[in-house]
């Protein structure tokens, strides 16, 4: 029987993309993009336990994600044990709340928190730079969740510029129980090898002073036309959120979750009620960088 040595309980948050522009396809097959990540207070529960012995033991509750070695938490733990030279076994219990295949980054967040949590449990053998490199190797969004908040993501999403903002709004998240393949979305986008020379790169100085009510004039998601054509229901959700009073609404990532931003919490809950019998819906708030 394994003897418990130490444990942590962590709550990885979801994210939304206020903006997502795919600039060009790289020779290595990946895409250069520019996005704005915002962490939001919809969270999974992640329990990490360091034990004697060896191996990785994973238990997943509430389904929707792999329960074997292909799970991002498992892969993160295996990479940490290898790169950190850590000795011992790891038990992982993951309770899912963030839906998979929704564009909310749940798997990436779980992986990042696994890396950070294990680094703490094993006495911090790895530096922040090493953790960032490992996170980027696991997935484009993983590095952001090493320090959730608000950040501009460039490159494949792993080149991060965190920004301190004072945005205050309530977020209605609507997930129509559809899973969108990120690979399919990129294939349908058919981006060439050259970037749009007329596209102006986001300036963090402008973003810091940007009023959320101006988001519609600045932000867009290149995947919306592709996904909306294939899944009209997702387009309908965005339209409904605007009609219900959201001052900004967009699909997150490659979908299928859509979010609407509201000034008043009461209005947000009233809008959420509209979707209760047709989709999963949450009213959450942004988690700003200053809170970490």
All structural domains of the chain: 4-161 (3.30.230.10), 164-291 (3.30.70.890)
Alpha helices in the chain (DSSP H): 72-84, 106-121, 128-138, 182-189, 204-208, 215-218, 224-230, 232-243, 265-275
Residues 59-89 pLDDT 10s: 999 877 889 999 999 999 999 999 988 888 9
Q: Which residues of the chain have pLDDT under 50?
A: 1-4, 194-195, 197-198, 290, 292
15 included as an active-site residue: yes
- The pLDDT score that the predictor gives to residue 201 is 66
Instruction: Kindly give the interhelix angle for 128-138 and 106-121, rounded to the nearest 10 degrees.
Output: 150
Number of helices followed by number of strands (H, E) in the chain: 9, 13
pLDDT tens digits, residue range 16-54? Answer: 999 999 988 888 877 889 999 999 999 999 999 998 888
Buried b (16+ CB within 10 A) or exposed e, 138-151: bbbbbbbbbbbbbb
The answer to whether the Cα torsion of 141, 143, 144, 145 is positive or negative is positive
Report pLDDT for 28: 80
Position 229 scores a pLDDT of 96
Tokens of 5: 């040595």
CA 231 from centroid of its chain's CA atoms? 21
Predicted pLDDT of residue 267:
98
Residues 151/37, Cβ–Cβ less than 8 Å: yes
Give me the torsion for CA of 190, 195, 196, 198, rounded to 10°: 170
**N-to-C CA span, the chain:** 37
Dihedral over alpha carbons 275, 279, 285, 289 (to 10 degrees): -150
Given this model, what pLDDT does residue 31 score? Answer: 84
Nearest in space to 285 (alpha carbons), one of 16, 34, 92, 11: 16
Annotated catalytic residue: which of 15, 44, 96, 110? 15
Candidates 44, 96, 110, 141; catalytic one: 141
Nearest partner of 284 among 99, 113, 39, judged by Cα: 39
Residue 122: half-sphere exposure toward Cβ, Cα within 13 Å: 25
Look up 141 and say whether it is catalytic.
yes
Phi, psi of 242, rounded to the nearest 5 degrees: -65, -40
Token digits for 61?
């509750």
């Amino acid at each position: 029987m394994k003897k418990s040595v130490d444990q942590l309980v962590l709550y990885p948050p979801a994210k939304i993309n206020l903006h997502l522009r795919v600039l060009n396809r790289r020779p290595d097959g990946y895409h250069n993009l520019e996005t704005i990540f915002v962490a939001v207070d919809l969270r999974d529960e992640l329990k990490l336990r360091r034990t004697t012995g060896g191996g990785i033991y994973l238990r997943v509750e509430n389904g929707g994600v792999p329960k074997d070695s292909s799970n991002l938490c498992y892969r993160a733990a295996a990479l940490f044990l290898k790169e950190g030279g850590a000795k011992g076994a790891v038990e992982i219990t993951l309770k899912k709340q963030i839906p998979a295949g929704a564009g909310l980054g749940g798997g990436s967040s779980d992986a990042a928190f696994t890396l950070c949590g294990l680094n703490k449990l094993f006495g911090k053998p790895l530096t922040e730079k090493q953790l960032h490199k490992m996170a980027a190797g696991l997935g484009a969004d993983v590095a952001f969740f090493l320090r959730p908040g608000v950040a501009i993501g460039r490159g494949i999403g792993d080149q991060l510029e965190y920004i301190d903002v004072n945005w205050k709004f309530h977020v209605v998240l609507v997930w129509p129980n559809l899973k969108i393949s990120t690979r399919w979305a990129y294939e349908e986008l058919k981006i060439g090898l050259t970037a749009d020379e007329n596209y102006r790169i986001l300036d963090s100085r402008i973003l810091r002073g940007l009023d959320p009510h101006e988001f519609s004039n600045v932000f867009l998601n290149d995947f919306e036309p592709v996904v909306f054509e294939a899944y009209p229901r997702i387009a309908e959700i965005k339209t409904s959120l605007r009609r219900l009073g959201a001052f900004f609404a967009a699909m997150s990532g490659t979908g299928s979750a859509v979010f609407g931003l509201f000034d008043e919490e009461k209005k947000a809950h009233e809008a959420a009620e509209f979707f209760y019998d047709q989709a999963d819906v949450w009213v959450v708030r942004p988690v700003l960088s200053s809170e970490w």
